[in-house]
Chain A
Amino acid sequence: MVFIPLIVDALANAALIFFVAVGLTLVFSVLRILNVAHGSFYSIGAYLAASAGLWIVSAGAPGWLTFPTLLLSAIFVAVLFGPVVERTLIRWTYGKSEAVQVLVTFALFLILEDLQRMVFGVQSVYQDTPMTMLGVVEIGGIVYLNYQLLLIALAVFMLIALKLFISYSRTGKLLSAVVADREVSQAMGIDTSRMFVIAFSVGVFLAALGGALATPTSGVSPGLGADTMVLAFAVAAIGGLGQVEGAAIAAIIVAFAKVLAIYFAPSLDAVAPYLVMLAVLVVRPYGLFGTETARRI
């Protein structure tokens, strides 16, 4: 029964990928911008959570404080970067060509990469108090990390919360209106620029939360932002840009592809997500759950 721990591994992995990919997809569906700097928010969230956790532990504070730190770091990153970046850089690119949008966000990615290096240094940071505090559980003779189970639960919670938020809250409904038809919703009096700020900040929050939650199991090192960005990109594309459930299912597919590759063909583990992406996009360029909007010849 080698497969049961494999499934938990893959699902925990999928949970982390889901947070960052769903943020990317949300921003794309509302703002129509593919944010290349999205992975940087993930790694900034990760650095902040890990550094704050280390500080708490070294200050002799009780270890359980590291749990709220994970959430607070993500909120802090979202509040710090979300509104500012959207109101300055991103807003300027609305209505410009994709090339300009990709370039501006790529420039932002470069700036954020060095900013992290200046603030957090180039050392890897590892802070695993939340993981060790939760300990392990044994089910049917197999030992699981409780933290992994917590990650899966959090991802499921976030998926449901997002769906409820979009379908039932006033802001969520307004967001859907903006996604469906930007001009008409504007004409009907929806403050679209406020919607853009909200959507972008929520996207930053989700990325940073993914990063923060990842630190107890894997730590942070330079280059994480660039790696995460392509992975999130692959997952969002597989699911269909703008699809929340699509991102969840794509995250699971990619995580399983990765874990299976590690088990059966270790040399292919890094290639697996992109092969899946390629296979899906060649057949369905708009992703598994996407709808065909772009004109193709």
Chain B
Amino acid sequence: MTRRTIFMVAGLALLAAAPILFPFTQFVLTIAIAKGFAALGVALLLRAGLISLGHAMFYAIGAYAAAFLSARLGITDIFAILVFSVAISALSGVLIGLFLVRYRAIFFAMLNLAVSMVAYSLASKAYGITGGTDGLRVSVPTILGMSVEKSSFDVVLYYLVLVLMVGVGILMHRYMRSPLGHALSAVHSNEIRLEYLGVSARSTLLAAYTISATLAGIGGAIAAVSIGHVLPEFAFWTESGHLVLTAVLGGIAGIAGPFLGSIFLELIHTFAVGYAAEAWNMIIGIAMLVVIFFLPRGLFGLVERITGGKSRKGEAKL
């Protein structure tokens, strides 16, 4: 085992033990990992040099899908909710991706922002479907048909989310190592050469866009059942900005980076609420500037530095 693997396993063990040692961390970590999924989606696109200022929309789509299934259709099983949310967010990823992967650079960022603001405005106005600005309530889901108390559901959800994180992490690792994943970084470094090799940049990006939308959707669904309420604010553009911040703070080169960034931010947030609630945005802003100035590879880069050598050649950079 490399030192990196030991570090990862230790990190997971720590995550698994955290709610037992400090019960207050359970909710915080659930939300942190949910946002970590969305940030991983953003990081995926950043590898191709595309910055999405609208990915909170897919987070919201996942959340609203979960809420809709539970509140409007009366299907409350957690697994049904997760599958449904993934399907809906993947579908919306394909549909919106078909339009948006034609664009690059600042145009990509702007169009994502525009689409997400349309979604945000519609979610706040379509009272009959989305509950308007009141949002939708999500009742406590059942687990394979068993109804449970909210507190025990939260425990099950937390460990389910941990398993999901590892599973998705492994799949994403495979994807990054596959030709499709490598082609993604190639879009960033030299798109024309990629096309000369006979690889379609467009379908490479469409696959990545769909995957990234699905990841955000998983995060949204988890957040919806964990919080028990979804609001249009989930899709507001500042949330998208936060997801980009989280991805870059954690580091976009590795799979673990965005999760690391998200957990780090949520924990700081939890502690800051008591002491510096008024200055919370300022703290993140300054932290972000420090990271961009001094740790261009994010917190995960710091982990790599500690756990030792690995070739950084050909890795994703901002």
A102's closest neighbor in chain B, by CB? B51
- Kindly state the separation between the CA atoms of A226 and B117 in the bound complex, as whole angstroms: 12
> B128: shortest Cβ distance to chain A, in Å?
10
Which chain A positions have C-beta within 8 A of B293? 92
Across the interface, do B105 and A114 meet the contact criterion of CB distance under 8 Å? no
* Nearest CB of chain B from residue A231's CB, rounded to whole Å: 9
Interface stretch of the complex, out of A15-23, A72-80, A169-177, A268-276: A268-276
Let me know if A271 and B125 touch, CB within 8 A. Answer: yes
A277 touches B114 (CB 8 A): yes
Contact indicator A237/B114 (Cβ below 8 Å) = yes
The answer to whether B113 touches A296 (Cβ under 8 A) is no
> What's the nearest-Cβ distance from chain A to residue B51, in Å?
4
A230 interface residue (CB < 8 Å to B): yes
Q: Are B114 and A271 in touch, CB under 8 angstroms?
A: no
Do residues A103 and B111 form an inter-chain contact, with CB atoms below 8 A? Answer: no
Closest Cβ–Cβ distance, residue A62 to chain B (whole Å): 36
Tell me if A282 and B99 are in contact (CB < 8 A): yes
- Say which one of B173-181, B275-283, B306-314 lies at the interface with A: B275-283
Q: A103-B288, A114-B282, A296-B102 are in contact. Are A98 and B113 (CB under 8 A)?
A: no
Q: Which of A96, A97, A111, A233 contacts B281, CB < 8 Å?
A: A111
Task: Check if B160 is an interface residue, CB within 8 A of chain A.
Answer: no
Q: Is B124 touching A111 in the complex (CB atoms < 8 A)?
A: no
Do the beta carbons of B103 and A114 come within 8 Å of each other? no
**Residues of chain A lying within 8 A (CB to CB) of residue B103:** 285, 294, 296
Determine if A104 is an interface residue (Cβ-Cβ < 8 Å).
yes
Interface size in chain A (residues, C-beta < 8 A): 46
Task: Select from chain A the residue with minimum beta-carbon distance to B287.
Answer: A107
- Asked whether B289 lies within 8 Å of A107 as measured between CB atoms, the reply is yes
Q: List A contacts of B110 (CB < 8 A).
A: 233, 237, 281
Q: How far is the CA of A217 from the CA of B245 in the complex (A)?
A: 35
Distance in angstroms between the alpha carbons of A294 and B279 in the assembled complex: 38
Interface flag for B221 (CB, 8 Å) = no
Report which of A34, A98, A103, A233 forms a contact with B245, defined as CB distance below 8 A. Answer: A103
B237-251: CB near A (< 8 Å → 1, else 0) gives 110010011001000
Q: Which residues of B contact A226 (CB under 8 A)?
A: 236-238
Please state if B111 and A118 are interface contacts (CB–CB under 8 Å). no
Chain A residues positioned under 8 Å from B245 (CB to CB): 103, 106-107
Interface residues of B in 165-224 (CB under 8 A from A): 191, 195, 201-202
Which residue on chain A has the smallest CB distance to residue B284? A110
Least distance between B194 CB and chain A CB atoms (Å): 10
B114, A278: Cβ atoms under 8 Å? yes
CB-defined contacts of B285 to chain A, threshold 8 Å:
106-111, 114
Confirm or deny: A36 has a beta carbon within 8 angstroms of a beta carbon on chain B: yes
A274 in contact with B289 (CB, 8 Å): no
Contact B121 A274 (CB under 8 A): yes
- Collect the chain B residues with CB atoms within 8 Å of residue A294's CB: 103-107
| A44 adjacent to chain B (CB < 8 Å) | no
- Whether A98 pairs with B115 at a CB distance below 8 angstroms is no
* Contact B281–A102 (Cβ < 8 Å): no
**A102 to B109, Cβ gap below 8 A?**
yes
Q: Which residues of A contact B278 (CB under 8 A)?
A: 114, 117-118
Task: Name the residue on B nearest A286 (C-beta).
Answer: B107
Q: Is A113 an interface residue (CB 8 A)?
A: yes
Contact A230 B113 (CB under 8 A): yes
**Shortest distance between the CB of B134 and any CB in chain A (Å):** 15
- Interface flag for B265 (CB, 8 Å): no
Chain B nearest CB: distance from A114 CB in Å?
4
The interface residues of chain A lying within 8 Å CB-to-CB of B236 are 226
CA distance A278 to B117 in the complex (A): 10
Q: Considering the chains assembled together, what is the distance between the CA atoms of A107 and B236 in angstroms?
A: 16
CB distance from B87 to the nearest CB of A (A): 25
Say whether A99 contacts B318, CB under 8 Å: yes
A241 within 8 A of B: yes
Residue of B nearest to A96 (CB): B318
Q: For residue B195, which residue of chain A has the nearest CB?
A: A297
Question: Which residues of B sit under 8 angstroms from A110, Cβ to Cβ?
Answer: 281-282, 284-285, 288
Chain B residue, CB-CB nearest to A234 = B114
The answer for the CA separation of A291 and B266 in the assembled complex, in Å, is 43
- Contact between B118 and A271 (Cβ–Cβ < 8 Å)? yes
Check A36–B102 contact: CB distance below 8 A: no
A98-B106, A103-B292, A285-B107 known, 14 other contacts, Cβ within 8 Å: A98-B109, A103-B245, A103-B248, A106-B285, A106-B288, A110-B285, A267-B125, A274-B117, A275-B118, A278-B118, A285-B111, A294-B104, A295-B191, A297-B191
Q: Which 10 A-B pairs have the closest CB atoms?
A: A110-B285, A114-B282, A111-B285, A271-B121, A110-B281, A107-B288, A107-B285, A270-B121, A274-B117, A99-B51
